[in-house]
Amino acid sequence: MSSPIFNEFLTKVISKVRSKEAHSMIRKELHHHLLELSKSFENRADSLKEAEEKAVQEMGNPFTIGEKLNKLHKPRMDWMLISLFIVIGAISFLPLVGNAPGSLFLKQQAIWYSLGTIVLIAFLFFDYRKLRNWWLIFYSSGVLVLLYLPVFGLSVGGVKRWISFGGFTVDAATISMLLFFLAWSGIFTKSDMFNGWKQAIMFGLFWIPFILYMMLPALPYSIFYFLCVLMMFTFSHIRKKSKVIMIAAKLTMCVFFIVPILFSSRGTLLSERLFSFLSPEQYYNGLGYMYILIKGLLADAGWFGNGLNGNSAIQSLPDAHTDFAFPYLVYSLGWAFGIALCILLIVFIWKISQNASKTKDYYGRILVVGGATLIAVPAIWNILMGVGFAPIIGVSLPFISYGGTTLIFHSAILGIILSVYRRKDIVEPSEI
C-alpha cells in the first residue's frame, strides 16, 4: 500500500508534467527512489513516518522536480524526418510533368498526398502501443484479403491485386502487407511463442502469406514480406539458437519453393523477366527491350538532363510516372539530380533506421525495424531496377512514384515510426 506522504509528493510532481502518457512511468520511478530513501532512514532507527518525511525532504521541491521532468519527458517530433518527407513529396510531382495526362495526374497526386499526410498525422498522434495485442486480428485480416483476391479481385497486368467498392479501386495486396507488418511486430514481442512445438506453428504462419502472394502471383510482395519479417525476427529478443534454426529453415524453404515456380507455367513470366535481365539482347523483342531502352535514355541524360518537356525519346518509356520514375527524372533533370535524389533517400532511410536505437520500448524498436525495411527495400530495388542493375518486377519508388494506395501505405508506416519517436522519452523501458 502506497504511503499518503509519498502520494501527496508524487501528485505535486505530476501536476507539472503535461504529458499524461509519462505520468505512470514518472510515478513508478520516483516511488522507487522514495522507497529506497525511506528504507535507508529506517535503518538509522527512525520510525516509518519519520523515514518517509525525510525521504520526501531529501528529494527536494516537488514542483521544481516536476518542471524538470516535464522538459525531459515530453513528446518529441522528428522534424528532420518530417522535412525530408515534405521535400520528397514535392519531388513526386516532377515525374508527372511532361506526361500526356499530366494535369489529371497532378491533381490526383495532390489528393493522394493530402490523404497520405492525414494518415501520417493520425498514426503520429496515435499511441502505437495499443496495436501490440491486435496481432491475431491483423494477421487473420491479411490472410482473408489474400484469399479474397484470387476469386473477386480485379486483374491488372496479370495480377489480381485490386478490389473495387463504391467507385474506388484499392490495391488490396498493399493493404495486406501493412496488416502482416503490424501482426508480426506484435508476435515478436511474445518470445514464448517461439519455444518448443510452438516454433512449428510460427513457421507455418510465416509461410502462409508468402505462398498466397506467390499464387496471385505477386513476386515483389513475397520479397518485401519475407525480408520485413526476417529483419524483425533478426532484431527480436528470441533465443539465438531458435533464430539460427528458423532463419536457416526459412531460407532453405524459400529456395525449394521458388525454383519450382520459376519453371512452372505460373512462373513463366518470372523466368522470362530473370533471363531478360541477364541477357537483354536475346529478349530484345520482349522484356529485354526495356533494359536496352533504359540504358539508352540514361546514356543520353548527361549531368543536367534534357528538361521536363516530354520529348519523343522519354515518351517511349512506359510507366515513367510509376515504376520508372527514377530513370525519367535522371533523363529529364540529369545525373546530378539523380545522385542528389539517391543521397536524399539514403539520408531519409538512415534517419528512419536511427530511430530504432532511440526508443526504450522493445515493441517500438521492432516496428521501426520492420517499417524501415518496407521503405528501404522497394526504394533500393526501384533505383537499381531503374538503372538496369536489378530485374524489372514492378516496384514503385516510395513517396515518389504515382499511386494512391502505395503512398498511403508508406505514409502509414512513416506515421507509426514517427509515433515511436514521439514517445521515446515517455514510454517505460521494456525488455522482453
Same domain? 162 vs 142: yes
Average pLDDT of the residues in 105-132: 91
> Rounded to an integer, what distance in angstroms lies between the CA atom of residue 373 and that of residue 123?
18
Whether residue 253 lies inside any domain: the answer is: yes
Could you report the per-residue pLDDT of 75-97, keeping only the tens digit for each? Answer: 778 899 999 999 999 999 888 87
Residue 254: band (very low, low, confident or very high) from pLDDT cuts 50, 70, 90: low
Same domain, 344 and 403: yes
Contacts of 375 by beta carbon, 8 Å cutoff, 6+ apart: 349, 352, 398, 410, 413, 414
Residues 304 and 182 in one domain: yes
In a domain, 432, yes or no: no
**pLDDT at position 256:** 62
What does each C-alpha distance from 274 to 70, 271, 357 come to in angstroms? 57, 5, 37
Per-residue pLDDT reduced to its tens digit, 276-287? 777 777 766 667
Report the distance separating Cα 48 and Cα 348, nearest Å: 55
Q: Same domain, yes or no, for 182 and 329? A: yes
Confidence of residue 358 (pLDDT cuts 50, 70, 90): confident
User: Residue 427 domain-assigned?
Assistant: no
Q: Order of strands across the sheet with 168-171?
A: 154-156, 159-165, 168-171
Pick from 421, 426, 335, 322: nearest CA to 371: 421
> Does 61 lie in the same domain as 147?
no
Average pLDDT over residues 32-46: 71
Q: Which residue has the higher pLDDT, 37 or 248?
A: 37
Split into its structural domains, the chain has a count of: 2
Same domain, 126 and 222: yes
Q: Is the pLDDT confidence value at 420 over 60? A: yes
What is the span of the domain harbouring residue 309? 79-422
Quick one: 89 and 31 in the same domain? Answer: no
> Does any domain span residue 430?
no
Could you tell me what percent of the chain has a pLDDT over 90?
29
**What is the predicted pLDDT for the residue at 267?**
46
Task: Choose one of 32, 49, 72: the last residue of a domain.
Answer: 72
Are 89 and 146 in a shared domain?
yes
Residue 312 scores a pLDDT above 70? no
Q: What is the pLDDT of residue 266?
A: 47
Q: 96 and 238 share a domain?
A: yes
